[in-house]
Chains A and B, each alone.
Chain A
Amino acid sequence: MTNTVSSASDSVGKVNRETYLKHLLTQAAAAADESHLGLKALRDRAIALVNERSFPSGKDEEWRFTDLSQMLEQPFQRAQPVSVEADSWSDHLNLLTEGACLTTINGHYEPTLSRKADQTADAVIIGPLSQLLKHPDYAKKLAPILESKLAQVKGGSEVFTALNTVGFADVMVVWVQADQVVDTPIYIARGSQGGFLSQVRSLVIAERHAKFTLVESFFGQDEDTNAQCSVDQDRVDQAKIQDTRCNNSVTEIWLAEGAQINHIRVQDESASTFHLAKTAVDQAANSQYQCTAVDLGAKLSRHHIEVYQSGPQTDTKMYGLSALGDRQLADTHSLLALTYPHGSATQIQKNIVDDRAHCVFNGKVYVSTAAQLTDASQLNRNLMLSTKARVDTKPELDIVADNVKCAHGATVSQLQADEVFYLQSRGISAEQAQRLLLYGFGMEVVEKISVPALKTALSTRLRDWAS
């Protein structure tokens, strides 16, 4: 538990990190100017925050196991709107064929790839902020919401969250009015191509007793995939560097009293992507929030999910699955802050790590004095499939109230030999048995997905992955 970073190399790293963060900040500020959204006060506050922070290093407890130093080699420029070929994105977009769909490419709204909501426009306000503000009625309605909700969930001072606030190009707004039940899932699709820093932002609000399903999906395209096969090595490397990108995503979710959101999050970025994401949730009394997050892609991905209570008797469920191979790294950081009585929370995070992949989990559960009669449980299970794989996990409990039930567990192992043997004794080959067990391990999370089309797609994905 001691720091062994030598001071000499550290001071060099520090300079790099500082200038790098300055570079990102400049890019973000420029993106903000180009967005014409206004929001100057908000942006200025965030700039001040970023200036107070430093680019994370291994010395920061929160980033001990997730090394961002490879990012320093990438002088990302802010993403610009690009011309889009609809066909090339159809695989990802056809995942969901009904319900409203907001598509952005590199953070810029793409109307040709989006769909309107079925409901009347007043009951469910869905759209990019840049467009909604052009509509005088909405602009008026949205003003107080932007004031009180945008970038207002706690935890906004984290460096990448603040950076996102400085420079998001647009905000995808999902605002479901009181007592509205939306049957079809609301889909926010985040595509990216080229090597940029794109900062995407969503603001999701469920008013009193509203109920809906939110699907967020992140995916990417490597521009020169075909070219790479034919040209010489130098150009391939060049193309790869160009395609390395950084997606910094922030989703803020507000649940008013009695609201219910079923949130599904699929991260399937292309292999050269740095994916940094924050999901910040505020739950008022009697609200129910469920998040099912599946991480499959990206070179390095970090999902930081934070749930705060603003009323008693909330129900929170967090399910997560990471399936990694090659040299991928996936980091799930969760914070569950229970500050009101009678809250209940369940968390299951499952990780499968193959090849030289590295999986990080840090799950924090905080129970304050006021949060009596809390019932929280957390389970983290890791399967290691290769000798070079690595798992770092840290489930944390911080409890002040006495009348609570809190438990957590963590396991790391490979597939159980006796389980494989059991299946073999029933005539299933060892290989098949292994596949079956892996599939079963992952399906426990995938099964929580309530959208049939998505569940099928992901279970197929998982089956392919396992074989």
Chain B
Amino acid sequence: MSSSVQSVVSQPYKYGFVTDIEADSLPRGLSEDVVRAISAKKEEPQFMLDFRLKAYRRWLEMEEPSWPNVKYPPIDYNEIVYYSAPKQAESKLGSLDEVDPALLDTFDKLGISINEQKRLANVAVDVVFDSVSIATTFKKDLAKHGVIFCSISEALKEHPELVQKYLGTVVPVGDNYFTALNSAVFSDGSFVYLPKGVKCPMDLSTYFRINNGDSGQFERTLIVAEEGSSVTYLEGCTAPMYDSNQLHAAVVELVALDNAEIKYSTVQNWFAGDENGKGGIYNFVTKRGLCKGVNSKISWTQVETGSAITWKYPSCVLAGDNSVGEFYSVALTNNYQQADTGTKMVHVGKNTRSTIISKGISAGKSKNSYRGLVKVNPKAEGARNYSQCDSMLLGDTSNANTFPYIQVQNSSAQVEHEASTSKIGEDQLFYFAQRGISPEDAVSMIISGFCRDVFNELPMEFAAEADKLLSLKLENSVG
């Protein structure tokens, strides 16, 4: 690989600052008492405490999965702080004016405007700082349409029946090691409820930030789209630079009823560790959508650029007849990053369709794996799947893998899978150079073109951010 490409893909992490803010944390470690303490702190109803304790007991019996194609030293779950909140957020805020200015500054630095007046884009934001949600914007506007958009702790107080009805129905408590952990200790996250027939008037968004060096973040997102409703949801994340590894184990559950549509986009830019692989976030996330009703649709789009380790498979269970699942992903790994990501499409209903487009870019000494499952159940007549996973290797020390599982038990199904690997050729760079385009611009353009299929699926605001993010990774290039 040419040195220009090498230098092009390395750029500093600009979100690595720490906000010095008073935090209210629980002591390190995990026990039943900690689970009870979290629940008590959040003044949760009894069913929630039962849910958490059940999860905790399940977790104790489970083993950490060893099958992912990633390597990391064993995690000491008793060294983690499971609850950390900015002091001020303890008491419920009346308005944004009461938010600690240091916090607002933090989010201004990140380019997230929680100040509604200064808004440019028509996006409602829920902001999660360490363990708690500190602000949700546009709540009133949304309420006019009957849309509930708030932090999940608020939802537990104000709409416990909705949370109880859907929480844990898509991702069961004991689904895997990390969902059990999350179910026991999750502290906050977003809750979205769309009533029947409502097209959400604006895009909804959550911004996650881990600030405390020893805390893990365990957030939980639940989106319920009633009959005929639709919503676009965006998620972004950053963290400061620490030498130690932090654990982020989130669970996202989506439920789409008849004719409903949920579009969920993520731009993940957790701190990835330094160029020697020190520090960074362990991003062990379970995301799953249930297309419960007929003609429902769930679409996942993700741009994964951060985290030391990513372990994430946003999935769709296509239970309703004619339901549609989509997965569009760009995963960029550099230095010592490891990503084992992909999707699961489980076809249960008749005439269900799914599309998987995955683009992996690996540079440095990183490891990038696509792991996917397409499963067609015996009763899923006329199921249709198309999968494409392309890898691009920058340098001969990076690693690209694909592990696509295809399991078909219905003969009327039609399943196609394609995969390829490629690199940026010297001839391509030369071609650009002939036309007066510098190597770094050329690489940026080639990568941008490589990811085009996925970026096209992102909402406008995010597409811009994703493009910026990738080109940021390509900054400081002339070698």
Contact = CB atoms under 8 A, between A and B. Distances in A.
Nearest to B401: A398
Interface residues of A, number: 38
Interface in B371-415: 371, 373, 376, 378, 391, 393-415
Contacts of A390: 407-409
Contact of A404 (B403, B414, B419, B421): B421
A75 interface: no
B145 interface: no
A407 B400 CA distance: 12
Contacts of A402: 1, 393-396, 398, 423
A182 interface: no
Interface string B332-347: 0000000000001000
B408 A382 contact: yes
B313 interface: yes
B396 A387 contact: no
Contacts of B376: 412
A399 B67 contact: no
B140 interface: no
Interface centre among B65, B175, B415 (most CB of A within 10 A): B415
Nearest to A371: B396
B396 A406 contact: no
Contacts of A398: 399-401
B176 A2 contact: yes
Main secondary structure of the interface of A (DSSP, over half): strand
Interface in B419-449: 419-423
Contact of A400 (B373, B397, B406): B397
A348 interface: no
Contact of A393 (B400, B401, B406): B406
Contacts of A400: 396-400
Nearest to A364: B403
B418 interface: yes
Contact of B421 (A61, A386, A397, A413): A397
Contact of B401 (A387, A399, A403): A399
A401 B396 contact: yes
Contact of B396 (A2, A389, A403, A412): A403
Q: Most chain-A Cβ atoms within 10 A of its Cβ — which of B396, B411, B417?
A: B411
Nearest to A416: B414
A406 B378 CA distance: 33
A398 B360 CA distance: 13
A410 B406 contact: yes
A412 B415 contact: yes
A307 interface: no
Given A387-B378, A410-B404, A410-B406, A369 B411 contact: no
Contact of A412 (B378, B403, B406): B406
B65 to A, nearest CB: 8
A1 B373 contact: yes
A367 to B, nearest CB: 8
B232 to A, nearest CB: 28
A392 B375 CA distance: 9
B465 interface: no
Interface in A360-392: 369, 372, 382, 384-392
A396 interface: yes
A2 B177 CA distance: 10
B43 interface: no
B416 interface: yes
Given A2-B176, A382-B408, A384-B408, A410 B417 contact: yes
B378 to A, nearest CB: 7
Given A1-B373, A407-B418, A391 B401 contact: no
Contacts of B419: 395, 397, 407-409
A159 to B, nearest CB: 20
A131 interface: no
Contacts of B405: 1, 392-394
Interface string A205-222: 000000000000000000
Nearest to A367: B421
A164 B270 CA distance: 51
Given A384-B410, A397-B421, A411-B417, 5 more contacts: A1-B405, A388-B378, A406-B421, A407-B419, A408-B419
29 contacts: A2-B175, A369-B397, A384-B408, A386-B411, A387-B378, A387-B410, A388-B378, A390-B408, A391-B408, A392-B405, A393-B406, A396-B403, A397-B391, A397-B402, A397-B419, A397-B421, A398-B400, A399-B401, A400-B400, A404-B423, A405-B422, A407-B418, A407-B421, A408-B418, A408-B419, A410-B417, A412-B376, A413-B414, A414-B411
**In the A-B complex, the 6 residue pairs with the closest CB atoms:** A384-B411, A402-B393, A412-B415, A410-B417, A413-B414, A407-B420
